Amino acid sequence: MKNTSIIIYILLLLGVFSSTQIRAQDVHFSQIQASPLTLNSANTGDFVGEWRLANIYRSQWASISTPFISDGFSYDRQFNLKGKTIGGGLLFVHDQAGDARIMVNKLFASVAYPLNFLKNDFRVGLQLGVAYNTLNQDLTFPNQFNQATGAFDASLPNEEALDDSAIYLDANVGLTWQRKIKRITPKIGLAIYHLNVPKVSYNNTSERLPIRSMVNVGFKWDVNDQIYVYPDLYMTFHAKASEFLMGGQVGYLLGENSFGMESIYAGGSVRNGVSRNTDAAIFTVGAKFND
């Protein structure tokens, strides 16, 4: 009865946070499992092995003169603290918005602590870091439209009182829960980004970066000793922006082989917004070697 109450409580929390109205966009990736620390700070150190290095790169809208670029790089490992295996690591995120060259660089220290309760495995994560935003003002603004020529003139004053950069502290928190139930291991993740609602502005206004919420639900089903299936669902909300990913993976555990391969897997997902049509399909294929 206690276990059932815990699960119901977690699901209620996820529902509350996933329906919260918030207000802005944020750096995000479609292959979310390939960047565990940008997905959820509670994922820090949550893997089999001694250390983990991850990198994810995205270039979009290449048809325009300067594509939008996002890059995530993380390193994490496990540490023993008084009999507890905690996770610690670093996360670096870079984002550049095309011709406007609005550039964001973030560096986080990430930690996670495991909690075990009645065969339920919880992980609580925290990320603290600094963000540095820069703005290239070598652009044209509405005030630089020359009525005489019918074109924009960069030599005219733009009449915009903007700073070239902004620096601020940022904080993210996360929680994951999982429990092995015979051949099925469900996992639920909840993450809250920009918990401190930092002030982010290129002028003297008090504009702030609002909170973003994320919910990730999935389960691993060991069909037999060699095949497993992992369907999952991901939702994130940030102001009027929302993203919804649904898909999964199928994996096959290999026996001894000369390539040192432990397993192979493949899968995919579809992406849309909660209030818009499907706009992309994502496919994944991979292999695990040795450890």
Residue 88 has pLDDT above 90, yes or no: yes
Of 172 and 4, the structure prediction assigns the larger pLDDT to 172
Q: Which residue has the higher pLDDT, 233 or 153?
A: 233
Question: What is the pLDDT at residue 162?
Answer: 60
Give the whole-number percent of the chain exceeding pLDDT 70.
Answer: 79
Confidence (pLDDT) at 110: 98
Both structure tokens of 91 = 């996360």
60 close to 67: Cβ distance less than 8 angstroms: yes
Q: How do strand 145-146 and strand 120-135 relate by DSSP bridges? A: unpaired
**Residue with more model confidence, 23 or 67:** 67
Is residue 205's pLDDT more than 90?
no
pTM assigned to the model: 0.79
What's the whole-number mean pLDDT along residues 111-115? 95
**Range 148-161 average pLDDT:** 69
Is the predicted pLDDT of residue 235 greater than 80, yes or no? yes
Read off the amino acid at residue 110. Answer: S
